Amino acid sequence: MLNTVLGLFDKVLTPVLAIGRNLAWMALVLMVAIIMAQVISRYIVNSPLSWTEEAARFLMLWMTGLIAPTAYRRGGFVSIDMLLTALPKKIGGVIALMFLLLALLVLITGIKLGLNHVKSGWIFNSSSLKIDMSWFGYGLLRLKLAWMYMALLVGVILLTVVNIELVLKAIQRLVTPGAGLEAADPLAVESV
């Protein structure tokens, strides 16, 4: 049963996180281009652009929200695992599971807080990011800050799903040691 659930997680999460990684590198490229445009505009043309700082921040938040779940799934976050590796496997596995469950509680709290933050973001407009809707007869449309806040909420939701997968894998390692889950260790870095 656990293998079936983990197979479903893998089948759904792998392509979702791949899409997130692709969107994240595109956001990074756009962010660098926008920053370069600001440097050129400010120091060469001597006419700084007003929207670049907020646009770069918007892209950085989305990049972070989309790439962090992949890093978490692959064990790319900084961790100190000397204690876990020094202990017997069962005890270390139980402690790792407890840490994953604690992280799950923090992430669930983050989702609740993130939802409230996004709700408040629909009230406020971006100070400099505007979309020209004149082709549709509307003029300039100011971007709502909720779209920026949503980046971190999406990231925390994806981190939560990844954390649930890691909890299930930790349980499986405890129940059936050596079940071919070496790469599933949340503390081990998976090759790309």
d(CA 184, CA 182): 5
pLDDT at position 60 over 60: yes
Mean pLDDT along residues 78-104 = 88
Domain edges within the chain:
2-184
- The 10s digit of each residue's pLDDT in 19-36 is 999 999 999 999 999 999
Token digits of residue 139? 């003029």
d(CA 34, CA 38): 6
Determine phi and psi for 186, rounding to 5 degrees. Answer: -65, -15
Token digits of residue 3? 């293998």
- The 10s digit of each residue's pLDDT in 95-105 is 999 999 999 99
Longest C-alpha distance within the chain, in Å? 68
